[in-house]
Amino acid sequence: MPGPVLHITGARPNFPKAAPVHRALAERGVTQRLVHTGQHYGEQMFDVFFRQLDLPRPDVDLGVGSGSHAAQTAAVLTAVEDLLVQQRPALLVVYGDVNSTVAAALAAAKLQIPVAHVEAGLRSFDRAMPEEINRVVTDRIADLLFATSPDAVAHLGNEGIAAHRIHLVGNPMIDTLLAHLDHIDADRARADHGLADPYVVATLHRPANVDHPVDAAELVRAVHAVADQADVVLPLHPRGRTRLHSAGLFRHERVRVLDPMGYVEFLGLVRGAEAVITDSGGVQEETTVLGVPCLTLRPNTERPATITHGTNRLVTRAGLAAEVEARLRLGRPQSWPVPPLWDGRAGQRIAEVIVRELS
């Protein structure tokens, strides 16, 4: 008998992508194993997602923990290789662009186990981003490439990947958002945190924004200039927290720094915000569907569909306060475009392809 389908998750963004794929394969009777590498761990970075997203608890938790890019990637590579030798899956499914993704894909490829990459083809063309390296390498290894948008399909084709391996399926992260939309309560989030309208949500953790003291200080000045106009609620990733604290982030009375939040609680805050400031990839997508103006504090994005078919806009630290002022003046849009196939059925499309390939 063929082995199971093995799903690899490692970090917060992986869980809402994996949930609809796992569910759709379960409906088709496919034997599966869910593996968590432990790249992100703890209650708010990991456990809460399995409770809220109807994901089963992982069959295996590798517990690799934190570390440098090299150390973390090496730890996942070694641990996943041992697991693959034991279980010999029929297919390994990896998600997104974190270190666990590229390490697990590489381990499988060396053992001649087929790899499926969910969220393939995204490109920022910025090799200074570790995630960009992970994306490119994973896509070269993968046998099945599931793309969220037409631009991703075009990138894969331009890189010489055969068309029969590429499948435009939509965005499974949006499946999860739409499935939980009734529980994403902006009024409750506003009440829980004592917020009046308008307020702004921020998520900031990218190395280019927080790793260097000069960048961190400039970022803090930009956030404080926004807080002069409206409350800023900032669920703060552990990465960069100490440096932003040292740069004075907490010194403005209208900056509310929170610990990382559960999926539903965080999106409740986002849904009620007048604008979101982010350097995260997934938040650009979620705001696109929710119709919340998104100001992405980066010079580029691997998700251009959120700009052409959504509410996203690239901004600089120097221009951030003016952009927020404009958003507050204009208010929330009444209607907005959404990328094709972001309709809540991406997981079903992915499962159909996988079942067909396995048979």
DSSP label at 12? T
Please name which of 296, 246, 257, 258 lies closest in space to residue 276, comparing C-alpha atoms.
296
Q: Is residue 51's pLDDT more than 80?
A: no
Residue 133, pLDDT > 70, answer: yes
Could you tell me which residues come within 8 angstroms of residue 237 by beta carbon, excluding any fewer than 6 positions away? 203, 204, 205, 260
Residue carrying the six token digits 């440096």: 243
pLDDT exceeding 70 applies to what percent of the chain? 97
Q: Is the pLDDT of residue 89 over 50?
A: yes
Q: Give the pLDDT of residue 43.
A: 47
- Average of pLDDT values for 308-313? 96
What average pLDDT score do residues 80-102 get? 96
Active site residue 183: no
Q: Is residue 1 scored above 60 in pLDDT?
A: no
Mean pLDDT over 236-246 rounds to: 85
Radius of gyration of the chain (CA): 20
The whole-angstrom separation of Cα 220 and Cα 277 is 13
Domains of the chain, by residue range, sit at: 5-171+342-358, 182-330
| Ramachandran angles phi, psi of 100, nearest 5° | -60, -35
The count of other CB atoms within 10 Å of the CB of residue 258 is 15
Q: Which of 40, 155, 205, 237 is catalytic?
A: 205
Residues 146-168 pLDDT 10s: 999 999 999 999 999 999 999 99
- Which of residues 92 and 72 earns the better pLDDT score? 92
Mean pLDDT score, 313-333:
96
Q: What's the pLDDT band for 46 if we cut at 50, 70, 90? A: low
- pLDDT band, residue 39 (cuts 50/70/90): low
Give the pLDDT of residue 41: 52
Topology agreement, domain 5-171+342-358 and domain 182-330: yes
pLDDT digits (tens, 9 = 90+) for 221-233: 999 999 999 999 9
- The residue-averaged pLDDT of 60-80 equals 89
Reply yes or no on domain 5-171+342-358 having CATH 3.40.50.2000: yes
CATH of 182-330, one of 3.30.365.10, 3.40.980.10, 3.40.50.2000, 3.40.50.1970: 3.40.50.2000
- Alpha helices by DSSP H, the chain: 14-27, 48-52, 69-87, 99-110, 130-141, 150-158, 172-179, 186-192, 207-210, 213-227, 241-246, 263-272, 281-290, 305-308, 320-330, 346-358
CA distance 239 to 207: 9
Task: Please choose, from the candidates 151, 124, 287, the residue with its C-alpha nearest in 3D space to the C-alpha of residue 206.
Answer: 124
- Whether residue 260 has pLDDT greater than 90: no
